[in-house]
Chains A and B, each alone.
Chain A
Amino acid sequence: MRQLPLVLLCLFAFAATAEAHARLESASPPVGGTVQAPPKQVAITFSEEVEPVFSTIEVTDAAGKRVDSGKPDRAPDKPQVLVVGLQPLGPGIYRVVWHAVSVDTHRTQGSYSFTVAR
């Protein structure tokens, strides 16, 4: 039992190299947010580096029509950020559905909405 603090300290030191499931930390437009100007892209920042080849971001309008440009790319010099371009958007509610594969092959998914104001 006396060795437990030392064990935990070693774990934290070792964990500097740990990789984990990629969770959404922030997004632009923000999750559940409203933007005044139509965005040109959706950017999602994850908690871990993600593999763009195996990840997807799909954006649909209220009618379910795809409005994204297809395959997402990793943001330049930001391996934790995936970006997908958007077609010109009008006012309304849009849904983002994402699937991410982190560099350690863990899969995560999620979805959220954002609104373009009138």
Chain B
Amino acid sequence: MPKRHRAAIVATLATLVSLPAAAHGIAGARFFPVTLTLDDPAVADEASLPTVVYQPNKPGSETDYGFEWDKRLTENFGFAFNDQYRMVRQPAQAGGNLLGWDDPILTFKYQFFENDAHEILASVGVQKEFGGIGAVSHGLADSVGWTQPTLYAGKGLGDLPPGLGLLRPFAITGEFGYQRADVGTSTSPDGARTPNPNFLNIGASVYYDMSYLRSQVKDYGLPEFANHLIPIVEFAYSTPASSQYAGITTTGTVAPGVLYEAAWYQVGLEALIPATHASGSYAGFIAQFHIYLDDLLPGSPLGKPLF
């Protein structure tokens, strides 16, 4: 696999890894579902097991199997831990197949704002990638980690006037983070110094909640399966924080798909469409099985705040 193609895959997937999917929250009548390529604005007791990302890049491809665990410490403060196992397939002449763990990421998040009438949630958090723990020697993990303060927000459109009722099931969420490398410059064994770039990571989602349509706007008597669907499109971009990093440009994905939300779990499937030239030439997909631990184990420490 040509080096530039592999770099594109890595850049695209790095965008997703730095914006982990996580919890759902509630503001008034609005349930904010779990989004797959960016984090949502809530803290909760949940788990993603697994999140599967498939990215082709002929003649090779990459498949990642990720997991995440979200835990509330208090009602509005919690943490998340996630990692992924990477499987890179490439011809022998390009280095052969590579298998190994990425670096783990720990996130602390505090939900500081909720407005039920206008269906708004907002949180702040800090993500920390622990560099040097994964398969660095295989190029599947970073030797240098990073820290990312992040702002999350979500807004449902349930407060639109009755005349716009069919638009009320829409909601939008967003995420903005500044990813700062823990070490500004790395020195290779031959003495060459390479800057570790900082990034602005930006994500947004727009979705239509069929359950909201049925319960808050109008019951059209649709099949029950349809009432659990959430058509969605997500946007995730990673762009260098300054122009000093030669050869590093904006990468990103547009991910249209659908979520299915049940009582204690959610299933999601979205296409991953490269959004920039540097993001690659082929579309992949992301799929996730997500568990709402507060619904599955409501009385246990796994399903409620610890304090």
A27 with B219: CB separation less than 8 A? yes
Given A7-B49, A31-B218, A105-B298: A20 touches B263 (CB 8 Å cut-off): yes
Interface pick from A52-60, A70-78, A84-92, A106-114: A106-114
- Say whether chain B's binding surface is mostly helix, strand, loop, or mixed: mixed
Residues of A close to B219: CB separation below 8 A = 26-27, 30-33
Given A106-B294, A108-B26: A23 touches B165 (CB 8 Å cut-off): no
Given the complex of chains A and B, what is the CA–CA distance between A58 and B301 in angstroms? 35
B298 with A104: CB separation less than 8 A? yes
B292 with A113: CB separation less than 8 A? no
Residues of A close to B289: CB separation below 8 A = 8
Residues of B close to A1: CB separation below 8 A = 65, 85
Pick from B49, B218, B227, B297: contact of A32, CB under 8 Å: B218
B299 with A111: CB separation less than 8 A? no
Residue of B nearest to A27 (CB): B219
Residues of B close to A26: CB separation below 8 A = 219
Residues of B close to A32: CB separation below 8 A = 165, 217-219
Given A23-B215, A32-B217: A15 touches B296 (CB 8 Å cut-off): yes
Residues of A close to B215: CB separation below 8 A = 23-25, 31, 110, 112
A residues contacting the other copy or chain, number (CB 8 A)? 31
Given the complex of chains A and B, what is the CA–CA distance between A30 and B218 in angstroms? 8
B residues contacting the other copy or chain, number (CB 8 A)? 31
Given the complex of chains A and B, what is the CA–CA distance between A7 and B28 in angstroms? 34
- Can you list, as one digit per residue, whether each of B53-73 has a CB less than 8 Å from chain A (1) or not (0)? 000000000000100000000
Given A11-B291, A48-B263: A113 touches B162 (CB 8 Å cut-off): yes
Residues of A close to B28: CB separation below 8 A = 109
Kindly provide the distance from the CB of A111 to the nearest chain B CB, expressed in whole angstroms.
7
> B216 on the interface (CB 8 Å rule)?
yes
A-B contact pairs, 15 of them (CB 8 A): A1-B85, A7-B49, A18-B296, A19-B295, A20-B264, A24-B214, A25-B214, A27-B219, A32-B219, A104-B298, A104-B299, A106-B298, A108-B26, A109-B116, A112-B215
Q: Which residues of A contact B (CB under 8 A)?
A: 1, 4, 7-8, 11, 14-15, 18-21, 23-27, 30-33, 47-48, 104-106, 108-113
Q: Apart from A18-B295, A31-B215, A104-B295, list 5 A-B contacts with CB within 8 A.
A: A31-B217, A31-B218, A47-B263, A109-B116, A113-B162
